Structures are given as structure tokens and as C-alpha cells.
Amino acid sequence: MSDVQWFTTAYTLPFAVLLITGGRLGDIAGRRRVFVGGVTGFLFASVACALAPGTSALIAFRVAQGAAAALVIPQTIGLIKAMFAGAELARALGAIGPVMGLAAVCGPVLGGFLTHADLFGSSWRAAFLVNVPLSLLVLALAPKLVDHRAPRRPTLDLTGTLPAMAGVGLIVHPLIGADLAALSGWNWASIGAGLMLMAVFVRHQRGAVAAGRSPLVEPSLFAHRGFPAALVASASFFAVTNGLMMVIVLQLQLGLHVGVLAAGLTLAPWSAGLALASWAAGARLVPRFGHRTMPLGLAVLLAGALAAIAVYRTADPTAYPAPLLPALAVVGLGVGLFTPAFFTVALRPLRPQEIGSAAGLLNAVQQLGATLGVAVLGSVYLHAAGPGGAAASLHAVQLAFWAAVALTVVSLVAAGMMTGGPEAGTVR
């Protein structure tokens, strides 16, 4: 694996592996305390990354950065549910997905801009230093958060934590930056071993409940009719969004040879559409129409993806596809409409003692979906493009978009299953 791939993997892997444990730590030690500790760790790790003297040091500091992020992200759900109620809770829960989606879309734009600007000769280091003022702002606002924890303080299930961490790691690691058509036997063996460890983890959790101990994941989550379907919807949806963003940038850079800044700015209409639709959905549509906003968002996302395919079908292989920008804006609108309703429907039925487990599990599945999306859609694109030049690249990106359409249909089916039971009536 190249150093560039390790720069991403070193962050993504500990982040994915520790999300479930990070959610449980919030139940035990208090969500504000764990949140502040995670943000502080992320701040120092970002500074260390910016000052890293070499490749090995940067990779090590990225590991610390990913571990700190895994402490922060799961606490947001619990803190929001502790601080808001009624209609305010629906709007607050609806902000989670759009904020994370905007961050994911804006990241390549901001990173490309900072690297291109080369402020004070900082080059790529500025992409890490920008985290410093943002982290300090978050820490300054942290005292306004309530210090919430589970009403029944559980213990950390260490014997369950180890197989869960190892299982997620063995599954995710071979997929990060991977070409699925070229996975080695060792890669598949790692994935198989990870699945076996996850089966051991499930059995251990059942045993912990039977023995009266605190499990890492609350089994009662799966008694909610919509929660397993929410995990499927989350995985497939974030596979689409993360995979498509990468494929679009790859096609622009490998097929058309545009710069990193122009490739990042191409995603700006997506980001703008997401911001506009998420505000409208969280403030107006979800409170009024509830779960019906989910299929609407996915339908708009499908329309945008099909419009993008139509643009690519008629585009000049050697010219920048300007008509793609409105299609990406429609995709962003669909993403922004779906996420507020999704998180509201998925999280509203949860009881306080389930929040930490649910937050960690949802975020872990989201991360796994994003990794799968990058691997699957990236593999489709790279395998079809090959060394064939601009025309092959244009054909390859169409195939990747068709794969994204199929995954969006999976999300649509799973979203329907989320709202098919009695609990769906709690969100109208």
C-alpha cells in the first residue's frame, strides 16, 4: 500500500473500529466529558499532523486523530436527545446528517483550496492546521452542553470490545482504497475472519445479557422494528454519497487531468444543494410530513444521478462537463432531503440506555458503508477505465453512477421497511 493510501487508512481504520466503544464510553463517563476529551485529542493530533517531520510520523498522528474522532461523533446523538424535546428534538436530530454530509462534501473543496493556496508555504499542512481554530471554537462552546449519561450506568464490556474491534478492523482494512476486482486471497481471508469474529461478538453479547452483565451493544435496539432496516439504509446511502464523490473527482483528474482545486469545486453545487434542502427538510418538511420525506429525498437523488448519466452520455470526453453541475446540485438536494428524516425516524424511538450503543453502531455502519462505497464504485470505475484514456474514463463513470442508482434503490427499500411497523407512527 502506498504512503498516500496509508494517510487515509491510518485515520479511517481506528475511527471505524472505535466508534462502538466510543458510544458506550459516553454512557459510562458522561457524554460531555467524553466529547470534550475527544475534541481535545483531535486538536493536539491535528497540530502534530501539521508539524509531522516525515511520513511515518504523519501516519502515526493520523491514527491518534482517527481514535479521537471516534470519541466525538457518537456523543452528538446522546447530547442532542438530552438537550431538546418535541419539535425541537426533531429539528436537532435532523441536523446531524446534513452537517456530517456538508462536512464530507466541503472537505475536498476546502482541502483542495488550502493546498492550492500554499499559505505561507504550508502546502498540505494547512489542511490540518485549519482544525485548530475549529476545535478551539467547539471547546469554547462545550460548557453549554449538558453532562448527560445513561440513567443506569453500565460497565465497559472489555471481552466484547476486543472481538468487535478486531472484527470491524479485519473487514474494513482490506476495503480501504481497494480495487474489489483485485483483492488478494489474504484480503478475502481477512474479511472472512472479521465476519467470524463478528459472529463471536454477537454470541458473546447474548451471553452477557443472559448473565445480567452490560453488553457493548444493547440487544433491545433490534426489538425496534425499524432499527435493523436503518442500518441497511445507512450503509447503502453513505456508500452512494461517498463513492460518487470519489468517482467524480477521479474522472476529472484521471480522465480530464484537471487540477485538485477545480475537481474539488465541481462538488460545490452538491454542497449547496445539500445545505439548502437540509435546512428546508429540518425546519419545514420533516415536522410536517415526517418519514414521507425519506422517499422524496431518495427520488430526487435518483433523478440527479440519472441526469448526471445523461450528461456523461452526451459529453465530449476531452472537455469539462459544465452541464454536470446542475445535476450534482439535484443530487445534493436529494441527500439534504433524506438525511434529516432518516436520523429522526431512526433515533426517535430509542430509550436513554440505548443511545450510546445506537450512536456508535449507526456511525460504525455509516463508516463501513462509506468504505464499501469507495471500494465498490471506485473498483467499477477503475476497472472499466483502465488505460483507455478520456473516452474510457467517461464510459467508466457512467457505469459507476449506474451502480450508485442500484444502491439507492436498496436504500429506498430499506427506508420503506423502517416505517412499516407501529413505531413509525411516532414520526408523522
pTM across the whole model: 0.80
- The CA-based angle 297-301-307, given to 5 degrees, is 145
Q: If you count them, how many residues does the chain have?
A: 428
- Tally of helices (H runs) and strands (E runs) in the chain: 17, 0
CB-based contacts of 91, cutoff 8 Å, min separation 6: 84, 282, 283, 286, 287
- Is residue 175 within 8 Å of 371, Cβ to Cβ? yes
Q: What is the pLDDT of residue 172?
A: 78
| CATH superfamily for domain 3-146+155-420 | MFS general substrate transporter like domains (1.20.1250.20)
Q: What is the pLDDT of residue 306?
A: 97
The dihedral over CA atoms of 152, 157, 163, 164, expressed in degrees to the nearest 10, equals 20
DSSP for 51-93?
T--SHHHHHHHHHHHHHHHHHHTTHHHHHHHHH--HHHHHHHH
Spatial distance between the Cα atoms of 297 and 285, rounded to a whole number of angstroms: 11
Going from N- to C-terminal start, the domains of the chain cover: 3-146+155-420
Q: What is the pLDDT of residue 101?
A: 58
C-alpha cell at 106: 466541503
* pLDDT one digit per residue (tens) for the chain, 428 residues: 445 556 666 787 788 778 888 888 888 888 899 999 999 999 999 999 888 888 888 889 988 999 999 999 888 877 887 787 766 766 776 666 557 656 665 666 666 666 655 565 556 677 788 888 889 999 999 998 887 776 666 677 778 888 888 888 888 778 766 667 677 888 899 999 999 998 998 888 888 888 877 787 877 788 777 889 999 999 999 999 988 988 998 899 888 888 767 877 888 899 888 888 888 887 788 888 888 999 999 999 999 999 999 999 999 988 999 999 999 999 999 998 998 888 888 877 777 667 777 877 888 888 888 878 888 888 888 888 888 788 999 999 999 999 999 999 999 999 999 876 444 444 44
Spatial distance between the Cα atoms of 376 and 240, rounded to a whole number of angstroms: 10
Q: What is the pLDDT of residue 118?
A: 59
